[in-house]
Amino acid sequence: AQTVTQSQPEMSVQEAETVTLSCTYDTSESDYYLFWYKQPPSRQMILVIRQEAYKQQNATENRFSVNFQKAAKSFSLKISDSQLGDAAMYFCAPVFDMRFGAGTRLTVKP
């Protein structure tokens, strides 16, 4: 079975600080894409960043970056200079079978 694990149900970060959300997965696929989605209280899922598994270079999108380690099947999200608007549920979705992780609730303290 293919699984997605987000081991941190909740995380907290001080405004302007950096936080890393972890995600591990299991798959027998060799070529796939990985996504991090953000879901604020409005419940609208928004794509944060994507990573292509065949690329060794980690994806970066403004204050968001990933640490992708294919051999370890790890796909963590780093948020730099955290802002109050970053507070949300974050879901890891290594998309080989449309499964999502259980999510990490991020709180940003002013």
Partner 1 sequence: GAGVSQTPSNKVTEKGKYVELRCDPISGHTALYWYRQSLGQGPEFLIYFQGTGAADDSGLPNDRFFAVRPEGSVSTLKIQRTERGDSAVYLCASSLRRIANVNEQFFGPGTRLTVL
Give the interface with partner 1 as residue ranges (CB under 8 A): 4, 6, 32-33, 35, 37, 42-47, 50, 52, 91, 95-103
**CB contact at 8 A, 13 and 21:** no
70: left (phi over 0), alpha (psi -120 to 50) or beta: alpha
Rounded alpha-carbon distances, angstroms, from residue 14 to 80, 84, 104: 11, 9, 16
Least distance in Å: CB of 56 to partner 1? 17
The residue among 15 and 26 lying less far from partner 1, judged by its C-beta, is: 26
The residue among 19 and 36 lying less far from partner 1, judged by its C-beta, is: 36
Residues with Cβ within 8 Å of 88's Cβ and at least 6 positions away in sequence, in order, are 38, 39, 40, 41, 105, 106
The residue among 65 and 101 lying less far from partner 1, judged by its C-beta, is: 101
Amino acid residing at 45: M
Least distance in Å: CB of 84 to partner 1? 22
The residue among 9 and 110 lying less far from partner 1, judged by its C-beta, is: 9
Least distance in Å: CB of 98 to partner 1? 4
